[in-house]
């Protein structure tokens, strides 16, 4: 993956106020030639992500919460493969989704195209997207969320959509080995819905959503994209239909959760 210079080797001189933690360079093929991320030693608390989001981007780093307590350990054990990742900007999001749709949808189901943004709330802007992300992260860290042991991390990336690819995350490996292709879709969702990648687990991804669909028709159109992106979200649901998924997981929802079996 093509990247900008990595600031992590100079982390100590960047003036960021960080809790105790350390750099991670462990991959499935041995140590990477530079750190992939910084990871805090202790559990993250509400407000921690927002504090780093105000300072870290100016030095080329973005915060994300990593769940190290879901039975798979931390990123040192996640079999990261940064060398296998392509650059998200080299892919067209709709082409990626259409390819997945053709593979997983019913045989006679034509790809309907990307969902529109008309009526999907106010056009997302960076300020509203960051505010929405902060609220979602704080709700995850207040002790009642799905994360078992959330740790604050810093990743060298300019867009939150690129965070999974930047660390060589292989969570969707049973669906797609090149996470750069999925980051291309996340970039598209950033532009259309104001999403931010806020949390990663071994095989889970959680994004905040600043401008979610506000009608069932819009949610159903978006559900098609989610099915292509992560079929397990629908297949593993209690009611494995796009309509049920749209109504319960997308309509006016401030966060989207993805899990690959």
HEC profile of the chain:
CCCCCCCHHHHHHCCCCCCCEEEECEECCEECCCCCEEEEEEECCCCHHHHHHHHHHHHCEEEEEEECCCCCCCHHHCCCCHHHCCCHHHCCHHHHHHHHHHHHCCCCCCCCCCCCCCCCCCCCCHHHHHHHHHHHHHHHCCCCCCCCCEEEEEEECCCHHHHHHHCCCCCCCCCCCCHHHHHHHHHHHHHHHCEEEEEECCCEEEEEECCCCCCHHHHHHHHHHHHHHCHHHHHCCCCCCHHHHHHHHHCCCCEEEEECC
pLDDT reported for residue 237 = 82
Name the least confident of 54-63, 201-210, 237-246: 237-246
pLDDT reported for residue 118 = 47
The model carries a pTM of: 0.95
Sheet containing strand 204-209, edge to edge, reads 21-24, 37-43, 150-156, 61-67, 195-200, 204-209, 255-259
Q: What is the pLDDT of residues 120-132, one digit of tens each?
A: 445 578 899 999 9
What percent of the chain has a predicted confidence (pLDDT) above 70?
Answer: 96
Average pLDDT in the 179-189 region? Answer: 98
- Name the residue with tokens 């919460």: 65
Mean pLDDT score of the chain: 94
Q: What is the pLDDT of residues 4-30, one digit of tens each?
A: 799 999 999 999 999 999 999 999 999
To the nearest 10°, the Cα dihedral for 82, 12, 131, 207? 20
pLDDT reported for residue 119 = 42
Q: What is the pLDDT of residues 72-126, one digit of tens each?
A: 999 999 999 999 999 999 999 999 999 999 999 988 899 999 997 544 445 578 8
Quickly state the pLDDT bin for 214 (edges 50, 70, 90).
very high
pLDDT reported for residue 117 = 54
Listed ranges 111-125, 140-154, 192-206; the one with the highest mean pLDDT: 192-206
Q: Do residues 216 and 115 touch, judged by C-beta distance below 8 A?
A: no
pLDDT reported for residue 82 = 97
Name the least confident of 122-136, 164-178, 182-196: 122-136
Quickly state the pLDDT bin for 144 (edges 50, 70, 90).
confident
């Amino acid at each position: 993956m093509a990247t900008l210079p990595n600031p992590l080797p100079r982390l100590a001189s960047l003036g960021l106020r960080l809790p105790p933690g350390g750099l991670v360079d462990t991959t499935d093929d041995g140590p990477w030639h530079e750190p992939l991320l910084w990871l805090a030693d202790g559990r993250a608390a509400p407000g921690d992500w927002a504090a780093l989001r105000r300072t870290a981007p100016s030095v080329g780093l973005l915060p994300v919460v990593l769940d190290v307590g879901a039975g798979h350990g931390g990123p040192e054990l996640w079999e990261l493969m940064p060398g296998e990742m392509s650059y998200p900007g080299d892919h067209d999001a709709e082409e990626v989704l259409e390819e997945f749709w053709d593979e997983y949808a019913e045989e006679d189901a034509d790809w309907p195209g990307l969902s529109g943004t008309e009526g999907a709330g106010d056009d997302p802007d960076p300020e509203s997207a960051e505010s929405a992300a902060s609220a979602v992260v704080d709700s995850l860290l207040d002790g009642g969320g799905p994360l078992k042991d959330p740790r604050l991390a810093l990743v060298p990336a300019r867009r939150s959509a690129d965070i999974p690819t930047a660390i060589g995350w292989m969570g969707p490996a049973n669906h797609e080995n090149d996470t750069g292709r999925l980051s291309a879709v996340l970039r598209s969702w950033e532009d259309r819905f104001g999403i931010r990648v806020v949390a990663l687990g071994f095989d889970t991804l959680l994004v905040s959503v600043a401008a979610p669909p506000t009608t069932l028709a819009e949610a159903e159109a978006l559900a098609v994209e989610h099915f292509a992106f992560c079929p397990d979200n629908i297949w593993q649901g209690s009611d494995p239909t796009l309509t049920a998924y749209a109504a319960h997981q997308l309509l006016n929802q401030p966060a989207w959760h993805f899990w690959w079996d």
